[in-house]
Amino acid sequence: MRNEVFYRASSEKDLSELLPIITQRARKGLEGGPMDIVLRRPSKNRLQEEKYHAMIGDIHHQCFRANTPEGVKAVLVNQFALEMEEQGTPLANPGEKVWDWKSQEAVYVRPSTTKFRKYEAAQFIEFLYATGVDLGVSWSEKALKAYESYKEARAA
């Protein structure tokens, strides 16, 4: 048996169909020892990731080529986290400042986009659009295509 199994229920019908399957797998899994069973709301989706990575790529290529893409992403995520905090809706998994006792300076660990909730990822996309407009970014075909897929998924 794999280490982790994922099921999604969107209705009571889905749940009633999945419960016997989940119960059977859990019973089998218990043969190997204790198990964790987790219930959670869906986090961001792959379409959201594709969209904001394409947008970050456009902002990097058009405005900040002297920096690495990872550096530009770190700055954008930090700015987004600060804006969310100012609005009174801080990220569920915010960054943190940690004291480096050896170098005697604070080290900032930025929030991780992998831990964004669906709502936060949607807000991040809106933040990136506003930032891109402020910077005069012309969105690439890749970013526009990802946006069309994203819009269709949100409408469904």
CB-CB neighbours of 93 under 10 Å: 15
| Dist. CA 137–CA 52, nearest whole Å | 14
> pLDDT tens digit string along 14-47?
999 999 999 998 898 899 899 888 887 767 788 8
Tens place of pLDDT per residue across the chain (156 aa): 347 777 888 889 999 999 999 999 889 889 989 988 888 776 778 888 889 999 999 999 999 999 999 999 999 999 999 999 999 999 999 999 999 999 999 999 999 998 899 899 999 999 999 999 999 999 998 888 776 766 665 655
Angle at 122 between CA 119 and CA 128, to 5 degrees: 140
Strand 96-100 vs strand 105-109: parallel, antiparallel, or unpaired?
Answer: antiparallel
pTM of the model: 0.69
φ/ψ (deg, to 5) at 147:
-65, -40
CB-CB neighbours of 19 under 10 Å: 12
